[in-house]
Amino acid sequence: MKRYLFIIGSPIVLFIYLAGSLAMAPANRNLGSFGELAGPSVCVGGDPDGDGIQTSCDNCPNVYNPDQADTDHDGVGNVCDDCPNVANMDQADTDHDGVGDACDNCRYVANPDQADADGDVRGNACDNCPNVANFNQADTDGDGRGNVCDNCPSISNPNQADADGDLIGDLCDNCPSVYNPGQQDSNADGVGDACTYYVYLPLILK
């Protein structure tokens, strides 16, 4: 049992109290601050990954990680965390591509490689302009092609057909069969100059 020696005004009182606490502390319990008994430290559940840490205390119970590294401090070890650098305790992964929602650049389309050719933080697999950066993904005509790479941004044309190769889609090209990237239309009749033909009739004087 603990022994107490009360000597009023003496600094040895605390020492004797602590000494008694330490001597009587059970072997399976931890000591908290100033020798107080902390709750039992128990790790159970076996060690299926063989890293020397039992399941209940292992932040990756099924993956070997003796160092227990957890960069984002979310309680899930780096080696089994689907977002090792972004805290996500729930480990949600809507598209089941192995990349957690919290750090997935295509949350609803599986893309385990996370490829992002244009660097706009939208993965190629769900980017409406995968080769042209467009952070806002604006698509005025709703044809699935972003404005910045749509050859008819105001007219829906999912197939982006461009017969004359002038980078103006057929549906909005004022000369769809004649190359005219400038789309000049001097008389504003909706038909480009490049494909406007004039017939000159001789003037007959009487």
Please report the pLDDT score of residue 18 as a whole number.
Answer: 34
First to last CA, the chain: 139
CA atoms 56, 61, 65, 70: torsion sign? negative
Decide if pLDDT at 200 tops 80.
no
SS3 breakdown of the chain: % helix, strand, coil, rounded to 5?
20, 5, 80
Mean pLDDT of 145-169: 97
Decide if pLDDT at 195 tops 50.
yes
Residue 36: how many other CB atoms lie within 10 Å? 11
- Give yes or no for a contact between 84 and 72, defined as CB atoms under 8 angstroms apart: yes
Report CA-CA distances (Å) from 93 to 66, 75, 81: 26, 17, 11
Q: What is the pLDDT of residues 28-76, one digit of tens each?
A: 334 343 343 344 468 999 999 999 999 999 999 999 999 999 999 999 9
Please report the pLDDT score of residue 197 as a whole number.
Answer: 79
Q: What is the pLDDT of residues 174-187, one digit of tens each?
A: 999 999 999 999 99
